[in-house]
């Protein structure tokens, strides 16, 4: 699936902001364009939602020892994934 121009702009904006916040690591735009295509993101919101879900996927594995393969990034809103990620990151098992 090819991304529309607005989604590509959102990916570039996301990657640029990430690189500015995290000076020790740099991510490249083509990798994230590929991720957005993989998840069939139709908007910048979908892309940010998918990235939060990826964070959840890794945090859940870190806390509970299994990957939550039963989830999908569209199961929750962007805010829902951010909220659960904050909760998991504060877990004493993390």
Give 34-63 pLDDT, tens digit per residue: 888 988 888 888 988 999 999 999 999 999
Q: Measuring CA to CA, which residue among 94, 1, 93, 7 is closest to residue 48? A: 7
What is the overall mean pLDDT for the chain? 86
pLDDT at 67: 94
Residues constituting the chain: 94
Domain range annotation of the chain:
5-89
Q: Are 19 and 52 in contact, with CB atoms under 8 Å apart? A: no
pLDDT at 94: 57
Give Cβ neighbours of residue 51 (< 8 Å, ≥ 6 apart): 14, 35
93 pLDDT band (50/70/90 cuts)? Answer: low
pTM for the structure as a whole: 0.79
Give Cβ neighbours of residue 16 (< 8 Å, ≥ 6 apart): none
Give Cβ neighbours of residue 34 (< 8 Å, ≥ 6 apart): none
| 13 sits in which H/E element | helix 5-21
- Across 12-39, average pLDDT: 81
């Amino acid at each position: 699936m090819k991304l529309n121009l607005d989604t590509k702009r959102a990916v570039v904006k996301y990657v640029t902001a990430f690189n500015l916040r995290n000076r020790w690591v740099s991510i490249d735009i083509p990798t994230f364009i590929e991720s957005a295509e993989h998840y069939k993101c139709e908007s910048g919101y979908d892309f940010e939602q998918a990235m939060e879900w990826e964070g959840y996927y890794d945090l859940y594995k870190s806390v509970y020892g299994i990957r939550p393969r039963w989830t999908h990034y569209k199961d929750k809103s962007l805010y829902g994934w951010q909220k659960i990620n904050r909760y998991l990151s504060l877990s004493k098992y993390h």
